[in-house]
């Protein structure tokens, strides 16, 4: 991973998107899926980018940049500071009020 950028969308309730940027190791590696797990005690969203590669293919060895956007499930967590961690690259954001539907 190269970076994690956060976009807090002005909506009610507020929504947060994590923009994950990195580089795939070669021209044959593809992103299979992106998952997000939330640890309520630590207030950490862990983003996992899972890749796949066909070992039979001949591939360029050049790095291939990628960008993935994932929406974080922010309904319910109370006001506070949260961390988004994507394979060791982290970013913080803060909610000043509880984010719940009224």
* pLDDT recorded at residue 13: 73
State the pLDDT confidence band at 4, using cuts at 50, 70 and 90: very high
Q: pLDDT: is 13 or 36 the higher one?
A: 36
Check whether 101 has a pLDDT greater than 60.
Answer: no
The confidence score (pLDDT) of residue 75 equals 83
CA 20 – CA 30 distance, rounded (Å): 15
Q: What is the pLDDT of residues 20-79, one digit of tens each?
A: 999 999 999 999 999 999 999 999 999 999 999 998 999 988 999 999 999 998 888 888
**Confidence label for 14 from pLDDT (cuts 50, 70 and 90):** confident
Q: Report pLDDT for 10.
A: 82
- Work out the average pLDDT over 82-89: 97
pTM, rounded to two decimals = 0.88
Taken in order 55, 35, 46, 7, the sign of the CA dihedral is positive
């Amino acid at each position: 991973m190269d970076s994690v950028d956060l976009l807090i969308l002005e909506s009610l309730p507020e929504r947060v998107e994590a923009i994950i940027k990195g580089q795939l190791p070669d021209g044959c590696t593809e992103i299979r899926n992106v998952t997000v797990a939330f640890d309520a005690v630590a207030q950490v969203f862990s983003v996992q980018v899972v890749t796949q590669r066909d070992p039979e293919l001949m591939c360029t060895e050049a790095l291939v940049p990628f960008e993935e956007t994932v929406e974080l499930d922010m309904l319910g967590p109370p006001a506070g500071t949260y961390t988004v961690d994507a394979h060791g690259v982290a970013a913080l954001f803060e909610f000043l009020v509880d984010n719940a539907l009224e």
